[in-house]
Amino acid sequence: MENQERMEQIGGDTFEIINQARQMVKPGVRMIEVARKVEELILKKELQCAFPINLSVNERAAHYTPSFDDQTIFSEKDVVKVDIGLREQDMLTDCAVTVDLSGNHSKLMEATQEALEAAISSVREGRRVCDIGKEVEKVTKRHGVLPIRNLGGHGIGEGELHANYFIPNFDNGDVTELREGDMIAVEVFLTDGKGEVEDGEYNQIFRKFPGVSARERDKREVSDYIDENYRTYPFALRWLVEKFGSEFRARATLNELARQDALESFPVLVEKGRGTVVQFEKSVIVEKEGCRIITQE
């Protein structure tokens, strides 16, 4: 019971912080400034990032976090996905919103929010994940947009951000049933493009596997720091650069870990047709007759 209450508190903190982040995203503002301010807000709550903040713009669907020297400035034409997760020990949350600075994508924004509400309304014990996807797909057909077929929601386990389930944004035929008490992220991605994402070249997010350390002393210090501070959770390259003051040293360590097959990378995901992508996401707890939204006030 105490864990449930604490999880709801962390979910409330997540909702509060993502709404502050939403207000920071304005034309002329540097992306790195938003990322750093959000991270400061998380630390003030005595919490940690479950993953680096994602600030993915336009055709980028996910996994864009700014580099330490990122010069990106939000423009009046941008559609910005803000995706954050909070962590306390192994309790995790995940939440996302989209800010349409252009004002030109109201149909896509409305469809994605409506689809998220439809998906959440269908969540309950015993619900098949394909049926949740079917609810999203109904909305997309009414609005004439497409779901991203190779992105979706997921289960959230203790110490595991992607656990148990994949929650599709269309009817994929998966008859896996939700269980009461499980936490899931209902995560809707819609687009006016081709409906699929592919890996881009930009890559600033990594995850280290346990039990392996860099061999050389200066690299081992960086490797040990990752183990002590991020464990097996995703981290940003810029966090290492800011800590050790050297991009070369940070990259050299990651390169060695990659050679030892001890590193996973998360390249930016780009819509194949270079269409605009909109994302909204909430974390919920599955109940017998519905669900309880965690990432809310």
Model confidence at 297: pLDDT above 80? no
Q: Sorting pLDDT into bands at 50, 70 and 90, what band is 199?
A: very high
27 and 81, same structural domain? yes
Q: Residue 111 has what pLDDT?
A: 98
Is the CB of residue 187 less than 8 Å from the CB of residue 85? no
143 is an active site residue: no
Q: What is the mean pLDDT of residues 197-205?
A: 97
Model confidence at 166: pLDDT above 90? yes
Q: Residue 5 has what pLDDT?
A: 84
Q: What is the pTM of this model?
A: 0.94
Where are any strands of DSSP class E within the chain? 48-57, 60-62, 79-88, 91-92, 95-100, 146-147, 153-157, 160-167, 183-191, 197-199, 205-208, 235-236, 263-265, 269-271, 277-286, 291-293
63 is an active site residue: no
Q: Residue 214 has what pLDDT?
A: 82
217 and 80, same structural domain? no
Give the tokens for residue 21.
């982040």
104 and 251, same structural domain? no
177 is an active site residue: no
Q: What is the mean pLDDT of residues 113-130?
A: 98
From the list 162, 177, 216, 218, the catalytic residue is 162
78 is an active site residue: no
195 and 121, same structural domain? yes
114 and 35, same structural domain? yes
CATH code where residue 253 lies? 1.10.10.10
Model confidence at 1: pLDDT above 50? no
21 and 154, same structural domain? yes
Q: 264-287 as b/e, with b when 16 or more CB fall inside 10 Å?
A: eebebbbbeeebbbbbbbbbbbbe
79 and 14, same structural domain? yes
Is the CB of residue 183 less than 8 Å from the CB of residue 153? no
131 and 154, same structural domain? yes
285 and 190, same structural domain? yes
Residues 257-292 have pLDDT tens digits of 999 999 999 999 999 999 999 999 999 999 999 999
Domain with 60 in it: 2-200+268-293
From the list 83, 114, 137, 192, the catalytic residue is 83
108 and 47, same structural domain? yes
32 and 81, same structural domain? yes
From the list 94, 114, 171, 192, the catalytic residue is 94
Cβ neighbours around 238 below 10 Å, total:
21
The count of structural domains within the chain is 2
Q: Residue 4 has what pLDDT?
A: 78
pLDDT, averaged across the chain: 95
195 and 91, same structural domain? yes
CA–CA gap between residue 132 and residue 134 (Å, rounded)? 5
2 is an active site residue: no
66 vs 159, higher pLDDT: 66
Give the tokens for residue 52.
């680096």
